[in-house]
Amino acid sequence: MSFTDECNYLSELLINYQKKIKDPFWKGLEEFFEELIIETERKLYLIKEQELCQKFQKLNSTNKTNSISTFLSISQS
In this predicted model, what pLDDT tens digit does every residue of 1-51 receive, in sequence order?
Answer: 788 899 999 999 999 999 999 999 999 999 999 999 999 999 999 998 988
Q: Which domain holds residue 69?
A: 3-76
How sure is the predictor about 65, in pLDDT bands with cuts at 50, 70 and 90? low
pTM of the shown model: 0.69
Please name the helix (run of DSSP H) or strand (run of DSSP E) that holds residue 59, with its range, or none.
helix 30-76
User: Rounded CA gap, 25 and 42, in Å?
Assistant: 26
For residues 40 and 17, the answer to whether their CB atoms sit within 8 Å is yes
User: Rounded CA gap, 48 and 43, in Å?
Assistant: 9
- Total structural domains in the chain? 1
User: Rounded CA gap, 65 and 76, in Å?
Assistant: 16
Per-residue pLDDT, averaged over 61-76, amounts to 56
